[in-house]
Amino acid sequence: MIYSLRKQCVDAILMLMLILSTGGLLFVFNRNIASLFFLIFILFVLIFMEEKWKKSTLNSIVITFSTLFFMGIINYYFSITEQIANKYFFHLLTITLASLLLLHFKNNRTHQQLTRSLYIALGLIVFHSFFNFIAYFFLKDNLIIIASEYHECETFMNIFFYSTERATASLYGLEFCRNQGLFWEPGVLQVFLNMFFFLEAFIIKKRKFLLFLTAVLILTTYSTTGLALLLIQFTVYLFNEYTANKWLRPFVLVLGIPIYMIFSFNIEEKILGDKEWSFQKRYFDLVQPFFIALEHPLTGIGSDVEQFQSMRQEFFIFSSSLNTLQEKTGVESKVSSTDKGSSNSITFLMAAMGFPTAILLIYMFFKQQIINDKKWLWMFIMVVSVMSEPLLLKPFFFLFIVSGFTYVYYKMTSHKQQIG
């Protein structure tokens, strides 16, 4: 089967839209229209551009979709707080988008073509983030504010985006605006930049310059999590390549030392310095939803984020539990309540859906078959990402959960056929 330029472009657009639906400002400000357009585009591709249908693939996707839909219904009716139906509609839309996209790629594309499409889409994110960072120095006095019910930012012609607080970071006297690219905050951009670094370093392995550029762009996000993931990937890459490539030695000095210095400086600021609130918020988002899950272990409190925010504002952890936690971890919690959503997708999932459903979804997340080369490192990046940003139940990350379900169902049906 010939993989034409038209097919490559369609696949790259689909993957780019999937990424943007996971924290991209296009979907933040135009969620209904953008989501509807994305759904129509996927359906158009499936109906008019598919060459053949694989029965086993179609069956596994249908079974997966039905299972996830049933789990959503159970969560809606048995949650302990009153849920708003239209909130669940967007969860259903997430399941639908992820299922249809995986159907498209598994039906008429090879595994290498799927990976290539992801690489191209992430490459476009890298390309834009480079110009987004540079453009700020020339456009910072010509930005306008755009806002929705949930978010606001500054933009230049809806091409380049910056926080309304300008999110300036100071490093050894040099001030710059934290790079958020096409996403609602820098922490989301670093997730996809680190994914591109992984693909270029360990799978595609074509352009060494892109590794250097991507590493520099991760530095421009000034994200502690992003810097930590980059440092780990950089270490693994050096371990694999250092002895075979002598050119890496100056590369280590040019990039490795600044990464470590900035990371150390950032960590010190967030634990002991002016940005301690950021660390405390992350720590609270790790701890409090888990305690909520302990009180509602079977079905959780429901997936409606607004209901979750209302409950956590009134949910206080017993001081005895906090004291025990402080003794075990050595970390003192200075946040007692909040009305914000959780940045930790894993503990939010436990609180929202209960332990049985959460454990099943996380298990399927790890069973994904989209990225298998150096899978341990890829999954480490994914898990750290969803524990620092509310992304696990967004379409891009949910694609990996759907992949795990379809793989397990396929193995089960194949085993039954062999027995038969």
Q: What is the CA radius of gyration of the chain?
A: 22
Q: What confidence tens digit (pLDDT) does each residue in 303-357 have?
A: 888 888 888 777 766 656 656 666 666 555 655 556 677 889 999 999 999 999 9
Q: What confidence tens digit (pLDDT) does each residue in 166-186 have?
A: 656 655 556 678 899 999 999
Closest of 243, 238, 278, 273 to residue 259, by C-alpha: 238
Q: pLDDT band at 390, cuts 50/70/90? A: very high
Residues forming a β-bridge with 153: 146
> What pLDDT is recorded for position 137?
86
Neighbouring C-alpha atoms within 13 Å toward the C-beta of 279: 16
Residues forming a β-bridge with 174: 171
> What pLDDT is recorded for position 339?
64
Query: pLDDT averaged over the chain?
Result: 85
The answer to whether residue 54 scores a pLDDT higher than 80 is yes
Backbone phi, psi, residue 393, to 5°: -95, 15
Closest of 97, 88, 93, 3 to residue 43, by C-alpha: 97
> What pLDDT is recorded for position 405?
96
Q: pLDDT band at 280, cuts 50/70/90? A: confident
Q: What confidence tens digit (pLDDT) does each residue in 125-137 have?
A: 999 999 999 999 8
> What pLDDT is recorded for position 13?
97
Report the percent of the chain where pLDDT is more than 70.
Answer: 81
The answer to whether residue 216 scores a pLDDT higher than 70 is yes
> What pLDDT is recorded for position 308?
84
Q: How far apart are CA 35 and CA 40, in angstroms?
A: 9
Contact 251, 212 (CB under 8 A): yes
Q: pLDDT band at 244, cuts 50/70/90? A: low
First-residue to last-residue Cα distance in the chain: 32
Model pTM?
A: 0.91
The answer to whether residue 239 scores a pLDDT higher than 90 is no
